[in-house]
Amino acid sequence: MNLLDQINSPADLKTIPREALPQLAQEIREKILAVVADKGGHLGASLGAVELTVALHTIFNPPQDRFVWDTGHQAYPHKLLTGRRDQFHTIRQYQGISGFLSRAESPYDTFGAGHAGTAISAALGMAEARDHQGGNYQVVAIIGDGAMTAGMAYEALNHAGALRRNMIVVLNDNEMSISKNVGALSAYLARIITGPLYTKVRNETAELLKTIPKIGRPMLKAARRAEESVKGLITPGLLFEEMGFRYIGPIDGHRLDHLLTTFENVKELEGPLLIHLITKKGKGYAPAEGDPAGFHGTAAFDLSTGVVKKKSSAPSYTGIFAKQLISLAKEDRRIVAITAAMPEGTGLSKFAKEFPDRFYDVGIAEQHGVTLAAGMAADGLRPVVAIYSTFLQRAFDQIVHDVALQNLPVVFCLDRAGLVGEDGPTHNGVLDIAYLKTVPNMILMAPKDENELQQMLATALKHPGPAAIRYPRGEAIGVPLEEPAMTLPIGKGELLRGNLAGDEIDVALVALGNMVYPSLEAAALLEREGFSVAVVNARFAKPIDRELLTSIAQRCRRIVTLEEHVLAGGFGESVLAVLEEEKGAGRIGPVDVRRIGLPDQFIEHGAQRILREKFGLDAERIAASVLDFIKLGIGASPQDEDRAIRLGK
C-alpha cells in the first residue's frame, strides 16, 4: 500500500504508525526522483531533507505552527506532504507549482523565498508577531549550512538571542552549499561533527532530552544547567550558545526515530533553540550523493544512470565569460575573481582551477563580496565580481558606497540577467539596469552575442572605474570568437542595419543585449512587408550613445527600444530621456517612441521561450508590435502611453 497517496495534508501523517514513516520517506524520495529525472529541478537538497521534513510535519501542526524554509529549494518533500502531491509533476513548469516557496501557492508556505539567508529573520518576525498578538504556536526556521554563510543569518541570530522569543532554528548541515561550503563557520561545524565526542554527545543529548518533559520545572532547570555545563566543557555548539541559543545536536538527520524524539521534546523548551542536524546531500540516490554540486539543480536525467539527457552543444554565455576571463588573467596578474557561493553557476570554477590563489568564494555573502572587491581595487588589484543579476540586488549599497562613490575599478559580471525561466520571480534578473544606471560612475553594458561579451569583459577591465556587464542565462548565439577580443569604445552603439545617409527610415529598433538578434529577425519580417527598418545594437545601457540616437532621430520619426528588463527604470527610459533632451535642444524634431520590455509585475516561472513569447520579446511579436506602432502613426494620443509615447510636435 502506498502511504504517500494517503497523505493530503500533514494531519494525515499523524495517523500513520511511526514504524511506517521510513517507508513514507522512501516513497517521497522515489516521487521526487521520478519527477526531477523527467523535468529537471533542485534534487540534492530535497533528497537530503526528506526525513527532517517528515519528522517536522509529524510532530508539529502546520500551518498553525510556522515552518520557514530558507531558500526553499529543499522544500519538495514539504510540497508533497502539504496537498501538492497531485500537482507535483508540474513543478517549475509554466503554470505549474513553483520550485520554491510561495505564500500565494499554499498556506503551508508561510514565507516566500528563493534567495538564501532569510529564514531566521522571517521566523523571528513571526515569533514577535505571535507574541504581540497572544498567539500560541511554534515558529521553526529550517536553514542549511550554506545559507548560514549569509550575513543576514548572523544578524538574525544576534537579534534572536537578545529577544529570547520561543523559536526553533533547524540547521540542516550537509557540509555543502551548492559547491563545498566555505569559511570559518563551515570549518567549525565540521569540527563539531568530526570531534571525538560527537557520538557520545549525540547520544547523551538524545537521552537527556528524552527525560526533559517528564520532570518538574525545578528539576528541568537543574537538568538544563547540567546539560549546559557539560556542554560547556565538551562543547559542540558553544558559538550558538554564546549568541543566546540553546544548542541541541549534532543529530543524524536521516534517523527518523532520533528526529521524532528530538522534535517532540524541544516543543516544550523555552527560548531560542538551534537543532543541528547532519544530513547528506542527495541522500538515497548514488549519483547525487557522488556529485552533490552537479545534482544541486539539474536538467532532466536518466534515472538509472544519472546521466543528464540533453547536454547542449552550443556554448553558454557563462562558459565564454569564464574562458575569456582566464585568458585575460593570463596577461594581467592583477585580475582576481570573486563569487558568492556560485563557482559552477558563474563559470568561475574553471578560473579557480587555473588560478587557485586568485579566486575567492566568499559564501552566500554578496555584500561582503562587493566590498572585498572594493578593497582589492583600492589597493591595486582588478577584481571581477561574478554575481547573478538577481543576487546582486543584495549588494546595492556596497556598489554605491564602497565601489562607485570612490570610483574603484571593480568589474561586475551579471549572469542570468533577464528572464531565467523555471526558477521564476525570485531569480529573474530584470531589475539590474534600474539599480545600476542610477549609480554615478557606473557604466553598464549588455552583449548581443558571446563575442561581444568577450569584448565587453576586455573593455571593462581596461576601464578606470566601475563597470557592469549583464548577460542572459543559457546558450549563446554560436558566433565565431575573435582572438584576442578587441575593446569597445565606451558609450558607443553600432548600427547593424539601415542606412542613415539615405531616405527616411520607417522605424528604428534600438535593442539592448539579447534583444538584438530577435530585433534583426523582426526587421527582416517587417522589410518583407515593405517597411524600411534600422537596427541598432545599443551595447551600453549607460552611458547612452547620444550621438547615434540623434542621427537616427534625424532620419526616422519612430523609435522602438527593446530590452529584457522591466520598462520602469530601464534602458528605454534612458533613451526617452536623451531624445527628450535633444528635442528640447532643437537638434531633433518630433519622434514617437515605443518601449518594448517587461511590465511592472513579478514574472512567473516557466520556460524562457514561453515567457518571451508571452511578453512579446520574440521576433514575431516584436514585428507585430512594431507594425502596430507604425499603423498607430505620429498622431497617436499622448494619453496612450502604453502603446506609444509621443515626444513633442
Residue 320, interface with ligand TPP (CB under 6 A)? no
Distance (Å, whole) CA 331 – CA 294 = 31
Q: 61: Cβ–Cβ under 8 A, 6 or more apart, which residues?
A: 10, 137
CB of 120 to ligand TPP, least distance (A): 12
Q: Per CB under 6 A, does 145 bind ligand TPP?
A: yes
- Using CB under 6 A as the binding rule, whether residue 392 contacts ligand TPP is answered as no
**Which of 247, 317, 391, 412 is close enough to bind ligand TPP by CB under 6 A?**
391
Q: How many residues bind ligand TPP (CB under 6 A)?
A: 25
Answer for the pair 292, 282: CB distance below 8 angstroms, yes or no: yes
Q: Phi and psi for 428 in degrees, rounded to 5?
A: -60, 140
Edge-to-edge strands of the sheet including 139-144? 66-69, 139-144, 167-173, 272-278, 246-252
Q: Which of 10, 40, 144, 606 binds ligand TPP (CB under 6 A)?
A: 144
CB of 114 or CB of 572, closer to ligand TPP: 114
Kindly state whether residue 176 participates in binding ligand TPP, applying the rule CB under 6 A: yes
Nearest residue (CB) to ligand TPP, 296 versus 470: 296
Binding segment (CB under 6 A) for ligand TPP, from list 145-153, 158-166, 229-237, 570-578: 145-153
The answer to whether 467 touches 442, Cβ cutoff 8 Å, is: yes
Q: Does 53 bind ligand TPP (CB under 6 A)?
A: no
Determine if 422 is a binding residue for ligand TPP (CB under 6 A): no
| Separation between Cα atoms, residue 505 and residue 493, nearest integer Å | 18
359 makes contact with ligand TPP (CB under 6 A)? no
Give CA–CA dist 343/415, Å, rounded.
12
Binding to ligand TPP in span 262-301, by CB under 6 A: 281, 296
561 lies in the site for ligand TPP, by CB under 6 A: no
The reply on whether position 365 binds ligand TPP by CB under 6 A is: no
Residue selected from 177, 265, 339, 561 as contacting ligand TPP according to rule CB under 6 A: 177
Could you tell me the three cell numbers for 208? 537527556
- Residue 370 within binding range of ligand TPP, rule CB under 6 A: no
- Would you count residue 362 as binding ligand TPP (CB under 6 A)? no
- According to CB under 6 A, which one of 3, 157, 364, 395 is a site residue for ligand TPP? 364
Whole-number minimum distance, CB 279 to ligand TPP, in Å?
8
The residue type at 268: E
Applying CB under 6 A, the span of 29-37, 169-177, 488-496, 593-601 interacting with ligand TPP comes to 169-177
The single residue listed with the C-alpha cell 533613451 is 575
Cα 314 from Cα 311, distance rounded (Å)? 9
In the bound state with ligand TPP, the residue whose beta carbon lies nearer, of 258 and 427, is 427
Residue 90 identity (one-letter amino acid) = T
Smallest separation, CB 424 to ligand TPP (Å): 12
For residue 560, state whether it binds ligand TPP (rule: CB under 6 A): no
Q: Is 428 left (phi over 0), alpha (psi -120 to 50) or beta?
A: beta
Q: Which stretch binds ligand TPP (CB under 6 A): 155-163, 176-184, 490-498, 503-511?
A: 176-184
Q: For ligand TPP, which is the closer residue by CB, 366 or 432?
A: 366
Contact present, 91 and 35 (Cβ < 8 Å): yes
- For residue 382, give the H/E element and its range: strand 382-386
> Could you say whether residue 146 binds ligand TPP (CB under 6 A)?
yes
Q: Does 29 bind ligand TPP (CB under 6 A)?
A: no
Strands 645-647 and 507-511: unpaired
CA distance 54 to 36: 20
SS (H, E, C) 136-147: CCCEEEEEECCH
- What string of DSSP letters covers 483-511? SSPPP--TT--EEEES-TTSSPBSEEEEE
Judged by the rule CB under 6 A, the positions of this chain that interact with ligand TPP are: 45, 48, 71, 73-74, 115-116, 144-147, 172, 174, 176-178, 281, 296, 340-342, 364, 366, 391, 394
